[in-house]
Copies of this chain bind each other. A is one copy, B any other.
Amino acid sequence: MSELKGAAIFGQSGGPTAVINASAAGVFQEALKQGDITKVYGAAHGIKGILEEKFYDMSKEDPYELELLKTTPSSALGSVRYKLKNVEDDETDYKRILEVFKKYNIRYFFYNGGNDSMDTCNKISKYMQKSGYECRVMGVPKTIDNDLWATDHCPGYGSAARYIATSTMEVYHDARVYDQGMITVLEIMGRNAGWLTASSALATYAGFGPDLIYLPEIPFDLDRFILEVSDLYRKQNKVIIAVSEGIRDKDGRYISEYSADLSKNKDSFGHVQLGGLAATLVEILKEKTGAKIRGIEFSLLQRCAAHLGSLTDVNEAVLAGQMAVRYAVEGKTDYMVAFERAAGAEYKCNIKLVALEEVANKEKKVPREWINEAGNGLKKQFIDYALPLIQGVSAPPLENSLPRFAKLKKVLAPHPNVNKEPVSIFAK
């Protein structure tokens, strides 16, 4: 353990979750307690806030509001989707980050995000090492997609899964209320990994869930899909289907593109913007079956539903933030905090550290052996994996029976040189 005194900065990156602020609370509360950490900053909009020298002094916040972050969804500091270029191609951003770190004596950098964000974290870590500037860099995992490599699961997933399972159980009741036939298509997030869509199987496990579940892990065959749905519709008059927004055919083409050319809508990571899959399948099934069909998109609701948080998830998100700080203060750097499930019948996860470069840009998918042979449902192994992750109730405190979310003051950190070396427009 080597002592390193200096400021810490924390940033949130990528799509928000119901618990990304819980990790923020973990980082801030822990960092504010650490004697080696002289200042605690929160970057506005992740890496962008660092590049633009826009960050908040977290010591100015009311501790009660920091505590409320644990049940406040989305990214309280603002998030970002900004991909750092490779340092060999363009060093500009890296130089700027180093300059800012030096200016504020930032010696601890914590970054909370998914695969892309761990790539950012990894690149910055390696650049700091190469530059000989001592800065401890720790990734804190989050993503509702649950697709981060080398960790049992990701904070954010459990709460989203609890929301999806609960809402699916409720829709199940609504969707079979009339005695006429009906097919319901639930569109669930997840670009390449089917973890979120698979969580609808928890509703089936509880007795009120989808009959058919299609994940992006299995190439989607439209003809077979129509047959499977029609067959079930004939037999039981009511069918509920859960589909991942990311399902693709054997040629890799998104099914959502079947009715719309979405190629012009690319976000800054180069991903195609998905959506409209439920609507597409509704049109196709309407024509093929003649049934009454409803498409439901869980949309943003599934990633911000703090009112249906999993306490396990929230506690682990806080823990991931705390442990990132403690490990860094102890001298660790260049790692992501990860979860390792202990053996045994009872659920228990331990914290471990994984090298950032092991995690960056890699994706973890639902294992083929957890999906049934027909490729349209989940097996018991998945339930055993996912059920512990949604346990326990987390919800924000209420005011007038509505959530009381955190309200941060967001006091901008003053530029440290402003008063020391006033800039004159009259050059020497």
Contacts and interface: CB of A to CB of B under 8 A. Distances in A.
A299 B294 contact: yes
A79 interface: yes
A177 B300 CA distance: 12
Contacts of A81: 178
Residue of A173, A202, A297, A310 with most partner-chain B CB within 10 A = A173
Interface stretch (A25-33, A67-75, A241-249): A67-75
A294 B169 CA distance: 25
Interface stretch (A95-103, A301-309, A414-422): A301-309
Interface stretch (A222-230, A250-258, A400-408): A400-408
B393 A306 contact: no
Residue of A74, A178, A310 with most partner-chain B CB within 10 A = A178
Given A80-B178, A296-B299, A73 B401 contact: no
A400 to B, nearest CB: 6
B78 A179 contact: yes
A174 B279 contact: no
Given A297-B297, A307-B166, A400 B391 contact: yes
A208 interface: yes
A171 interface: yes
Interface bracket on A? 35 or more
B303 A405 contact: no
A307 to B, nearest CB: 6
A154 interface: no
A167 interface: yes
A319 interface: no
Nearest to A387: B400
Interface in A157-173: 162, 165-167, 169-171, 173
Nearest to A175: B300
Residue of A174, A301, A393, A405 with most partner-chain B CB within 10 A = A174
B402 A398 contact: no
B206 A74 contact: no
A301 B405 contact: no
A48 interface: yes
Contacts of A304: 170-171, 173-174
A290 to B, nearest CB: 13
Contacts of A175: 300
Given A202-B402, A401-B162, A73 B174 contact: yes
A352 to B, nearest CB: 26
Contacts of A297: 296-297, 299
A141 interface: no
A179 B162 CA distance: 29
A58 interface: no
Nearest to A282: B275
A390 interface: yes
A45 interface: yes
A227 B297 CA distance: 29
Contacts of A176: 74
A185 to B, nearest CB: 11
A387 B398 CA distance: 13
Interface string A173-202: 111111100000000000000000000001
A392 interface: yes
Given A16-B177, A206-B402, 14 more contacts: A73-B170, A73-B173, A78-B179, A166-B403, A167-B305, A170-B306, A170-B403, A171-B304, A174-B303, A206-B399, A387-B400, A390-B402, A391-B401, A393-B401
21 contacts: A16-B173, A45-B179, A73-B174, A74-B174, A74-B176, A75-B177, A78-B177, A80-B178, A81-B178, A162-B401, A166-B402, A167-B305, A170-B304, A170-B403, A175-B300, A296-B300, A301-B301, A387-B400, A390-B400, A390-B401, A391-B401
Q: Which 5 A-B pairs have the closest CB atoms?
A: A74-B173, A174-B304, A170-B304, A74-B174, A79-B177
